């Protein structure tokens, strides 16, 4: 069994393509398991499995 890599919320955000604030909100609400250490959140990379972008990015000129 291999050990899971530890990530900060910023590293997790970059890996998933989300903002760090959004990842911190998911952590604070318990939707992603992690631990608050000082001013940042730390989580196992394995906690990100199943987390996907649910919204499509906004299109620049939808009504043109």
Interval 3-43: pLDDT, tens: 679 999 999 999 999 999 999 999 999 999 999 999 999 99
Pick the closest to residue 34 from 14, 6, 53, 13 (CA basis). 6
Q: Where are the beta strands (DSSP E) in the chain?
A: 6-8, 35-37, 40-44
What whole-number distance in Å separates Cα of residue 42 and Cα of residue 33? Answer: 9
Answer yes or no: is 28 within a domain.
yes
Do the domain assignments include residue 62? no
Q: Provide the pLDDT confidence category of residue 1 given band limits of 50, 70 and 90.
A: very low
For residue 37, the enclosing domain spans 6-48
Could you tell me the pTM of the whole model?
0.71
Residue 63 lies in a domain: no
Q: Please indicate, yes or no, if residue 37 is contained in any of the structural domains.
A: yes
Instruction: For residue 24, tell me if it sits in a domain.
Output: yes
pLDDT of residue 11: 95
In a domain, 64, yes or no: no
Residue 42 is assigned to a structural domain of this protein: yes
Query: What does the alpha-carbon distance between residue 61 and residue 40 come to, in Å, rounded to a whole number?
Result: 37
CA distance linking residue 41 with residue 7, whole number of Å: 8
Q: Is-contact 28 20, C-beta < 8 A?
A: no
If one counts the domains in the chain, the total is 1
Asked, for residue 58, whether it belongs to a domain, the answer is no
């Amino acid at each position: 069994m291999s050990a899971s890599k530890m990530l900060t919320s910023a590293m997790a955000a970059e890996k998933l393509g989300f903002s760090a604030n959004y990842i911190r909100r998911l952590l604070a609400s318990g939707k992603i398991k992690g631990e608050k250490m000082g001013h940042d959140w730390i989580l196992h990379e394995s906690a990100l499995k199943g987390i996907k972008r649910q919204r499509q990015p906004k299109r620049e000129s939808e009504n043109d």
